[in-house]
Amino acid sequence: MTGLDHEHSEVITLGARRLIEVPPHVRGRPAVPWLKSQFPMTTAEAIESIRLANLVRSGGLDDGAS
């Protein structure tokens, strides 16, 4: 596995992808509660999704889309 799928649970990967795809002004709420409303995840998993999305945005990790 490479990119977002490497060493992360599916829900963390899905959460990170959703954060990348949906801009903050569309979400309209803080990321952790928004992620938990979108996916069956724990607070720790939501935080990891945010970390992973930020890593992809910064160019530190390939999102696997290319």
What residue ranges of the chain have pLDDT lower than 70?
1-8, 62-66
Distance CA 40, CA 18 (A): 14
Token code pair at residue 59: 């160019």
Tens of pLDDT, residue by residue over 45-61, are 999 999 999 999 998 77
Query: Taking the model in full, what pTM does it have?
Result: 0.78
Which segments within the chain are labelled E, that is strand?
A: none
User: Sign of the C-alpha dihedral, residues 40, 26, 50, 65?
Assistant: positive
User: What values do phi and psi take at 5, rounded to 5?
Assistant: -80, -15
